[in-house]
Chain A
Amino acid sequence: MKMFVPRNWREYPSRYRLEASRFTKSGTVYYPKRMVDPETGDTEQETVNLPLSGKVLTYTVIRTSPDQWKDLAPYALAIVELEDGTRMMGQLTDCNVEEVSIGMEVRLEFRRVQTEGHSGVLSYGHKFVPKWY
């Protein structure tokens, strides 16, 4: 259980600030970050922050959820293509599952993504919400 604390902490740059790798030769962006570009073997990269909006590429609806997300069920898990073309998977929140559709515009919002029972750490990151402004 306590292993979760350091693991979660190491993921802050990608979870909190959506830091990704852009490799110099190919210009390809990877999220989460990688040490080496698997296409070119390039190790030269810069850190970029992903844009906070995109479109649903595909999704699935979770009705029988793991215990810790039961309060939110049913919810959709979506793969979203962000404005810069990067794809990421995450939970859609503040959204009736009947209203989800491919191509739907979403925004990324900072949310509580996981809680370790009643006494453990709270883990934060981004979820997708329907874009309305």
Chain B
Amino acid sequence: MAGIVGYGAHLPRHRIKVEEIAKVWGADAPSYKRGLMLREKSVPPPDMDTITLSVEATRNALKRAGSIDPKDIGAIYIGSESHPYAVKPSGTVVAEAIGATPDIHCADFEFACKAGTEAMYVALSHIEAGQMKYALAIAADTSQGAPSDALEFSAAAGAGAFIMGNDNVIAEILYTHSYMTDTPDFWRREHQFYPQHGSRFTGEEAYFAHTKGASRAILEKSGMKPSDFAYAVFHQPNGKFHQRVALELGFTQEQIDPGWLAPVLGNTYSGASPIGLTAILDIAKPGDLVFMCSYGSGSGSDAFIWKVTDRIDEVRDAAVRTSKLLEENLIYVDYGTYAKFRHKIRKND
């Protein structure tokens, strides 16, 4: 049975609080915190990007996969909307760094916040088709929000990596379902530094319609109901949407709590539901069913139903837990440092 053989996450240590951003733009911090259900977000330092986050998350995934030979990884797919180059693949750097070159297939995926689960979907398909022994899917972003825009309070950084395979899986894939339409709620044109969004249009017609569409379809396909699952994780553009869509679909607060990272992490874009899944696997028990549904603007959702196996107990502590990366040893930065780190300040060459 195909599934996840190893998983890992990586996050920056730096954080900025909602109050710190609000102060600069004259925004009302308490109403943003309440409205978006966000307290702080991660900030990547200047020497960290989608490629470096991907390498570190992959190293953690390799630790949990046990003694697999990187040369047996037949494909590396990175889903991100912040690939460091406009033209030049990110995946080849990861392949080189883990020693998986040259007999390997690499591709960078893009689909706003859904690029990471696309990578997972395609990697799983290779395994199910018997094309290769292992396939690596990475969901990573160092997303940017325009200064003073609502997105600036949430756009964060992080990565999740998953090695898919057939043997020694820690979470079997039981069902997948993808659901998409052309719904332009968020975009970035070529040569533009910051993305734009359709404000309230990003809600009902976009995030909620697609997340619910994919979720209801996979539940129907599997004949399962929300109460069958131990945990559920959805895309989390802010704290609020994740909670609302989960409760409206019939999941409970207890089921979503472990994967609900946005309030203290922000929106890690492609990384959002995948990093949530790593936090869930960190505490899941053998036999648990896990529901996962991403969302990417443009728009679409990929839904997955995972079944955790006995092997989870052997591997979860082979690498750092996501909760540790999330909660410990943080460095809080002011807006000036954040603006410098995110290249928002115009300088001479």
Contacts and interface: CB of A to CB of B under 8 A. Distances in A.
Contact of A72 (B45, B328, B331): B45
A34 to B, nearest CB: 21
B96 A111 contact: no
B52 A111 contact: yes
Interface string A92-116: 0110000000000000011111000
Interface in B319-349: 320, 324, 328-329, 331, 340-341, 349
B329 A112 contact: no
B321 to A, nearest CB: 9
A71 interface: yes
Interface string A37-54: 000000000000000000
Nearest to B341: A71
B16 interface: no
Contact of A110 (B55, B84, B328): B55
Interface string B24-65: 000000000000000000000111110110011001000000
B349 A124 contact: no
Given A71-B340, A122-B84, A133-B320, A17 B49 contact: no
A16 interface: yes
Interface residues of A, number: 19
Nearest to A133: B320
A118 interface: yes
A109 B45 CA distance: 13
B47 A93 contact: yes
A94 B84 contact: no
B85 A122 contact: yes
B107 interface: no
Interface string B260-298: 000000000000000000000000000000000000000
B13 interface: yes
Interface in B2-27: 13-14
B331 A112 contact: no
B130 interface: no
A71 to B, nearest CB: 4
Interface string A44-82: 000000000000000000000000000110000000000
B93 interface: yes
Given A94-B331, A132-B329, A113 B47 contact: yes
A12 interface: yes
B349 A133 contact: no
18 contacts: A17-B97, A71-B340, A72-B45, A72-B46, A93-B47, A94-B14, A94-B331, A109-B56, A112-B47, A112-B48, A112-B51, A112-B84, A117-B349, A118-B349, A122-B51, A122-B84, A124-B55, A132-B329
Given A17-B96, A72-B47, A118-B349, 10 more contacts: A17-B97, A109-B52, A110-B55, A110-B56, A110-B59, A110-B97, A111-B52, A112-B52, A122-B85, A124-B52
Interface of B: 13-14, 45-49, 51-52, 55-56, 59, 84-85, 93, 96-99, 320, 324, 328-329, 331, 340-341, 349
